[in-house]
Structure 1
Amino acid sequence: MKKVTITDVAKKAGVSKSTVSQYLNERYDYMGEKTKERIKSAIEDLNYSPNYLARSLKQKQTNTIGVIVANILHVFSTHVIRSIQDFCNERHFHVIVCNADDDPDKEKQFIEMLYAKQVDGMIIFPTGGNIALYKKLTNENYPIVFMDRIVPDIEIDTVLLDNKKASLIAVNNFIQNGYRKIGVISPPLIQSLTPRIERINGYKQALQLHDIPLKAEYIADTSFDKVSVHLTRMLNLKDPPGAILALNDLVLFEILAFVKTNKIRIPQDLAIIGIDDVIFASIYHPSLTTIAQPAFSMGKKAANLLLTKINNKMETGDGGIYRFEPALIIRESL
């Protein structure tokens, strides 16, 4: 069976091959509606399927991007990925997703693999552990956008939450509800992980603004499997906190597991606010007050920045920081 070509489509529609090519590439600026309809009908009648591989080789573009997430288990990460895929799909770009597990060696392998596959650009949740590689790519003017984390001295556009404000909002809300003994539990405070550092600094600043003494025993940064140990220590203090701020969704999961095991009542025994709005927050009993990130808007912004660089052959960027506002979702946990 003879393969249908762009020449066949052009002949049936009564237009030139270049006009059909413009239609396929969605360059409609000077194309009339009747012309578009004729080309569309010809494509459908002939069951024409464009040769995207040949087109990509000709244009030196694969219409594929890579996304390297730090930890795909985070609700935020999955929502961002979905948003990026939706945005790219509408523009005929494919997305390859890789999970680095916050491991610089894995991240390096994924960056090199995607680069070898000639993806047109990457959105990376950077570990911060591959400075030389980041610089190499920016020096080559390779399109990159960072998500969620700032890497000092690397001029790459970065999309992230106003993390300090997220903690400020949470602590202020505790205080407005009568709590002044406020603890916080964080994953390990690795310096390169922007959200954790900014959120703990926001917690400290909020206490200072309200003239509440900072108590070291009310602060824990720990691996997820040790959250229960630190929470036990905190709640067994002579003067224990009456409220706990969970610095991200995975910490919140561990706190809720501890609460259930130890039959602690929320909010009667312990008030809780989590940064990152988990999908079950509204149906958990009692429902959970959270600070939400606009993950879908953030993913769309990152994808838009990257595709603009790719399609317009723009420079990688001057290190613009695009921060998004956190949103307080008041429920029943305080």
Structure 2
Amino acid sequence: MVTINDVAKKAGVSKSSVSRVLNGNFEHMSEEMKNKILRAVKDLNYTPNSVAQSLKKKSTKTIGIILSDISNPFWSGVLKGVQSECMRNGYGLMVSSSFEDPSVEEENILTLRNKQVDGLIVNTTGRNTDLFNELVKEKYPFVFFDRFSNDLQTDTVIVNNILGAKKTIQYLIDQGHDRIAILLYPTENKSPRIDRLEGYKQALLENNFPIDESLIKICDETNGSGIEATKEVLKLSQRATAIFSTNTLLNLEVLMGAKKLGFKVPEDVSVFGYDDYPWVPLLDPPLNTVAQPAYEMGKKATALLIKKMKSGKVQKSKIIQLEPELMIRSSCMAPKKVD
């Protein structure tokens, strides 16, 4: 097996010089020496022993990420941002999913730590506060993203979901809607859902509209629940003229529910969804959505974690809040007069 000694001997340099090149440290080194070492590495087909390097440096140059539900297409954009920042900084990535189960989340954390990842990026279930407090006490580096915890102060990257919801409802009110329904999945321990509902309520109250509980539908996280909830708000004696869907999968079920009742979008009911993808403009009609900066969220969370890992110091927790953007297309219009 070729060793670093062999490379140093062939290049006619010291082991420390070879080590510096292998670690990307070219300061105070001539271009000639660097190229001589790189040629020796190539000629000898030398591959550094990553396990030995990890033990020596106490670092595997690997980051772990735990998603709440990897089946949600929203995460593809986030993972692109995470992967981009990892590659830029020379880190590998290990991905897992908790599927919204706190026991699985705990198992993922233990598994990734056993794999000796240098730090974690977590879209938390919100139900393992004691475990994360232990990580804080150990000074183990981790960052929350997409969701935050009121019970735990740690570095977090989130989207301003209150603002996204408020801007959506204000847009619909400006179009003339005063019967606006909202569909959500259960909000317990899920800060984005809590904030979207809060933004909905704030916008109504700021426009002197009452909060009508019959227009707020908390859907089970099962296929078809959004379809039934859509039917319910459209069958009310004073039915909804607009529906705000707060989740990618609910967006499609709202459109399906309206179609099953024979309602046309936007002629009979306006629909405003959450999350934006390349296929959204291809829907019939092209759907208005709140676009989240998924790629940017992934990049910023990764950059924040890497900075935290390199610092090695306990610093005041930082919350980075990104702004959503309304994508206006063809699924909303002024309401017809409802008898």
TM-score interval, smaller chain: over 0.9
* Equivalent in 184, 189, 193 of residue 196 of structure 1: 193
Which whole-Å deviations, capped at 9, do the CAs of 1:154-194 have from their partners, x for residues lacking one?
Answer: 1210111001001011112212333222111000121x110
- Which residue number in structure 1 is paired with residue 133 of structure 2? 135
Distance 1:296 1:269, change over 3 A: same
Asked whether the 8 Å contact 1:64–1:120 carries over to 2, the reply is yes
Question: How far 1:65 sits from its partner (Å)?
Answer: 1.7
Q: What is the distance in 2 between the residues matched to 1:234 and 1:30?
A: 70
Q: What is the distance in 2 between the residues matched to 1:272 and 1:259?
A: 10
1:25 aligns with 2:23: yes
Return the letter of the residue paired with 2:99. D
Question: How far 1:205 sits from its partner (Å)?
Answer: 0.5
Which whole-Å deviations, capped at 9, do the CAs of 1:107-162 have from their partners, x for residues lacking one?
Answer: 11111222222211111111121111111110000001011111123121011100
Per mean C-alpha deviation after superposition, the further-off stretch among 320-329 and 16-25 is: 16-25
* Equivalent in 212, 215, 228 of residue 215 of structure 1: 212
Matches within 5 A, 1:168-207: 168-190=166-188, 192-207=189-204
SS in 2 for 1:282: helix
Q: What is the distance in 1 between the residues matched to 2:257 and 2:220?
A: 15
Return the letter of the residue paired with 1:37. N
Q: What is the distance in 2 between the residues matched to 1:11 and 1:262?
A: 79
Matches within 5 A, 1:106-255: 106-190=104-188, 192-225=189-222, 226-255=225-254
SS in 1 for 2:282: coil
Q: What is the distance in 2 between the residues matched to 1:263 and 1:38?
A: 74
- Which residue number in structure 2 is paired with residue 332 of structure 1? 330
Q: What is the distance in 1 between the residues matched to 2:27 and 2:153?
A: 34
Q: What is the distance in 1 between the residues matched to 2:39 and 2:175?
A: 63
Distance 1:48 1:210, change over 3 A: same
SS in 1 for 2:93: strand
Q: What is the distance in 2 between the residues matched to 1:15 and 1:222?
A: 67
Per mean C-alpha deviation after superposition, the further-off stretch among 75-84 and 204-213 is: 75-84
- Which residue number in structure 1 is paired with residue 277 of structure 2? 278
Q: What is the distance in 2 between the residues matched to 1:176 and 1:294?
A: 25
Question: How far 1:71 sits from its partner (Å)?
Answer: 1.1
Asked whether the 8 Å contact 1:224–1:250 carries over to 2, the reply is no
Q: What is the distance in 2 between the residues matched to 1:245 and 1:154?
A: 30
Return the letter of the residue paired with 2:71. L
Relative to the length of structure 1, the TM-score reads 0.93
Per mean C-alpha deviation after superposition, the further-off stretch among 250-259 and 68-77 is: 250-259
Per mean C-alpha deviation after superposition, the further-off stretch among 269-278 and 232-241 is: 269-278
Percent identical among aligned pairs is: 38
- Which residue number in structure 1 is paired with residue 335 of structure 2? none
SS in 1 for 2:217: strand
Which whole-Å deviations, capped at 9, do the CAs of 1:262-296 have from their partners, x for residues lacking one?
Answer: 44321111111112113421211211111111111
Structure 2: stretches of 5+ with no match in the other structure: 333-339
Return the letter of the residue paired with 2:14. S
Question: How far 1:297 sits from its partner (Å)?
Answer: 0.8
RMSD: 1.7
Q: What is the distance in 2 between the residues matched to 1:296 and 1:15?
A: 43
Return the letter of the residue paired with 2:292. Q
Relative to the length of structure 2, the TM-score reads 0.92
Per mean C-alpha deviation after superposition, the further-off stretch among 102-111 and 135-144 is: 102-111
Which whole-Å deviations, capped at 9, do the CAs of 1:28-57 have from their partners, x for residues lacking one?
Answer: 333333333333333223322221111111
Distance 1:295 1:31, change over 3 A: farther
Per mean C-alpha deviation after superposition, the further-off stretch among 195-204 and 271-280 is: 271-280
Return the letter of the residue paired with 2:201. K
Q: What is the distance in 1 between the residues matched to 2:35 and 2:71?
A: 45
Asked whether the 8 Å contact 1:13–1:39 carries over to 2, the reply is yes
Q: What is the distance in 2 between the residues matched to 1:255 and 1:319?
A: 39
